[in-house]
């Protein structure tokens, strides 16, 4: 059945109804409303309205009594929203008009609230407040995941595993070193969120629809009221009214930070999926974050990790939606931009739950020490150390590399481990091989020699534990990401 084209009453469109002889079709209302998803901005919208009305009173545009009545009404509405008692009306299009209309019914002075303000700079303000909040929340959730990973590293600080390139065994590393690589990824994610929050920290109110206002407002006063200030408490206001209402860089940057976080957790998840397989069996994932098979009773599927891997695609899709949405739009505001919020909100929500699930997965994770030890005992993992052994005896590296490759080939031909080739055979390959050549395959010695910054030797691992404990402690105290 075709949808009704019955029109709404003009009075229901208080923001722009005076220009029109009738309201929009009900189909158009259903098509254009945004309150179904932008109602989550209510706390920020109310904060912005309180700051705006305070500024109007500060400049003498409204009275102090009118300001106080508006604030009391807004506080009452916020309490109703928090209690789930506020009645949202899609006919009023968005969160802003729902709140304003409810306020006007209760407080006559609220008819003056929209003075010197457009929905364009109003929503820009709401979104910047929202983004500052979202960045702080996600940074803490990612930090919680970092703490869970660090705890897993500490619980298995002595465990060695093969490091891989091309999914082939490469060189030995401490498990903690591998886990610290994940912490580095997540720390960059938190830094990107901090950078986004810093760029969001500029107040748009006063930009109006496009060209500001002729009324004597005080934008700096509003900025201070809303916390749009620098480290020294000085107000920060946007500098171009047209750019202010048209800009969606912050949305894209936030979605980009979330998408890159998604890429990182997908890579972490892939390692865990491989490590939990029977072919590796390095790790046992917690039952609480796995599921079984409806047919095969022996199965334990790494569902949390697979879903983390899948969410990465969703987060990337949200980023591409925003990039495509903003591409080619003329200045300044266009209604297309209403569609910027669903992908942004979804990126926030999915990133939040993914960070929680990542933390939960690591909280119950157990390493299979015997499997890890057996895998890292492969002497071939120290082939590069053998090349270094020759280099220390004056052999050019390219020549040493070739000589070690010949040793590997000989081991395969003789069907023996790399370190069990007879000395006579090894010296046929290169005269620089001496009687002590097998000392290279002492795993403890090999790790001790990796002393440089960023390497997986025990001294550096100890330093990195101290570094990460400090960084995470600073996070809990409210410090910034590194």
Active site residue ranges: 166, 293
Q: Is the preceding omega at residue 332 within 30 degrees of 0, hence cis? A: yes
> In Å, how far are 120, 164, 438, 471 from 453, measured between CA atoms?
51, 20, 27, 18
| Tokens at 456, concatenated | 């997986």
Q: Which is it for strands 283-284 and 168-174: parallel, antiparallel or unpaired?
A: unpaired
What is the chain's alpha carbon radius of gyration, rounded to the nearest angstrom? Answer: 31
Please report which residue ranges of 327-452 form alpha helices under DSSP H. 341-363, 369-376, 383-391, 397-414, 423-429, 443-448
> 182: closest CA among 430, 457, 436, 468?
468
282 dihedral zone (left: phi>0; alpha: psi -120 to 50; beta)? alpha
| Tokens at 105, concatenated | 């019914």
> 458: closest CA among 165, 182, 160?
160
State how far the Cα of 386 lies from the Cα of 403, in Å rounded to an integer: 9
Q: Across-strand partners of 173?
A: 161
Please report which residue ranges of 25-88 form alpha helices under DSSP H. 26-32, 35-38, 42-58, 64-82
């Amino acid at each position: 059945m075709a949808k009704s084209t019955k029109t709404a009453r003009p009075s229901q469109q208080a923001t722009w109804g005076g220009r029109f002889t009738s309201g929009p079709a009900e189909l158009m209302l259903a098509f254009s409303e945004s309150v179904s998803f932008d109602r989550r901005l209510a706390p920020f919208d109310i904060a912005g309205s309180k700051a705006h009305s305070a500024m109007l009173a500060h400049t003498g545009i409204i009275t102090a009594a009118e300001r106080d009545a508006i604030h009391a009404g807004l506080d009452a509405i916020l309490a109703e929203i928090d209690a789930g008692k506020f009645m949202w009306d899609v006919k009023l299009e968005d969160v802003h008009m729902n709140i304003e209309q409810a306020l006007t019914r209760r407080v006559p002075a609220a008819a003056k609230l929209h003075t010197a303000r457009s929905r364009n700079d109003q929503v820009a303000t709401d979104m910047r407040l929202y983004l500052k909040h979202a960045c702080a929340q996600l940074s803490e959730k990612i930090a919680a995941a970092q703490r869970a990973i660090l705890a897993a590293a500490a619980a298995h600080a002595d465990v060695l595993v093969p490091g891989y390139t091309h999914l082939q065994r490469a060189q030995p590393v401490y498990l903690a070193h591998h886990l610290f690589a994940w912490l580095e990824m997540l720390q960059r994610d938190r830094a990107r969120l901090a950078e986004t929050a810093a760029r969001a920290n500029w107040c748009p109110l006063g930009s109006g629809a496009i060209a500001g206002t002729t009324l004597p407002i005080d934008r700096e006063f509003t900025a201070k009221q809303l916390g749009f200030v620098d480290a020294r408490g000085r107000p920060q206001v946007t500098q171009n009214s047209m750019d202010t209402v048209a800009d969606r860089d912050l949305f894209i940057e936030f979605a980009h930070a979330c998408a890159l976080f998604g890429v990182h957790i997908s890579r972490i998840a892939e390692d865990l999926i491989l490590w939990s397989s029977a072919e590796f069996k390095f790790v046992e994932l917690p039952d609480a974050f796995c599921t079984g098979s409806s047919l095969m009773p022996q199965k334990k599927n790494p569902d949390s990790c697979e879903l983390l891997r899948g969410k990465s695609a969703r987060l990337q899709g949200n980023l591409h939606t925003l990039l495509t949405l903003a591409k080619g739009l003329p200045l300044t505001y266009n209604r297309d931009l209403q569609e910027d919020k669903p992908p942004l909100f979804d990126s926030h929500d999915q990133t939040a739950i993914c960070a929680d699930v990542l933390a939960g997965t690591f909280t119950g994770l157990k390493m299979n020490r015997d499997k890890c030890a057996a895998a890292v005992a492969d002497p071939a993992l120290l082939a590069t150390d053998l090349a270094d052994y020759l280099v220390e005896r004056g052999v050019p590296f390219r020549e040493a590399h070739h000589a070690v490759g010949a040793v590997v080939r000989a081991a395969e031909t003789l069907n023996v481990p790399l370190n069990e080739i007879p000395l006579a055979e090894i010296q046929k390959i290169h005269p620089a091989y001496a009687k002590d050549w097998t000392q290279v395959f002492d795993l403890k010695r090999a790790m001790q020699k990796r002393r440089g910054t960023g390497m997986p030797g025990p001294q550096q691992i100890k330093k990195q534990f101290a570094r990460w404990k400090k960084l995470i402690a600073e996070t809990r105290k409210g410090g910034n990401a590194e």
